[in-house]
């Protein structure tokens, strides 16, 4: 059986970007995490220990988003690596980071990166 856990819409205010203004002013970000796992045991036991803890996922995202980086690609890789390393039962993982109102030429709602593996 195939199972997925979605922790979507993790809102963060962070200071990522190549421009000095981004380091000082910061901006709004949203992070979506999708985990492929087998939660059959949790579905039967009704015990948190038998599945992926959503709070742990959110905590990892918040901690990594709080560390300034020039590129959201770098932040995304750190989030991906920590979730894969620190949480058990991860069969597949998808991380998407959305940077809202990026300071680029033109009217752009957001840019995003996606890491899957």
Q: Could you state, in chain order, the average pLDDT of each consecutive group of 10 residues for the chain (117 residues)?
A: 95 96 95 97 96 97 98 98 97 98 90 97
Domain ranges for the chain, please list them: 3-116
- 3-class DSSP state for residue 110? strand
- Look at residue 53 in the predicted model and tell me its pLDDT: 97
- Looking at residue 1, what is its pLDDT? 78
Catalytic residues: 99
- Rounded CA-CA distance 14/94 in Å is 21
Determine the pLDDT at residue 106. 84
Q: What is the 3-state secondary structure (H, E, C) of 33-82?
A: EEEEECCHHHHHHCCHHHCCCHHHHHHHHHHHHCCCCCCHHHHHHHHHHH
> What DSSP character marks residue 71?
-
Domain 3-116 CATH assignment equals 3.40.190.170: no
Q: What per-residue confidence (pLDDT) applies to 112?
A: 98
**Residue 105 pLDDT:** 84
């Amino acid at each position: 059986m195939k199972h997925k856990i979605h922790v979507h819409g993790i809102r963060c205010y962070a200071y990522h970007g190549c421009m000095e203004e981004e380091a000082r002013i910061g901006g709004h970000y949203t992070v979506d995490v999708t985990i492929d796992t087998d939660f059959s045991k949790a579905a039967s036991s009704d015990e948190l220990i038998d599945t992926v803890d959503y709070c742990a996922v959110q905590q990892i995202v918040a901690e990594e988003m709080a560390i300034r980086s020039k590129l959201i690609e770098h932040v995304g890789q750190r989030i991906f690596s920590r979730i894969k390393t620190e949480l058990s039962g991860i069969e597949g993982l998808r991380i998407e980071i959305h940077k809202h109102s990026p300071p680029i030429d033109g009217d752009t709602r957001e840019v995003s990166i996606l890491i899957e593996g």
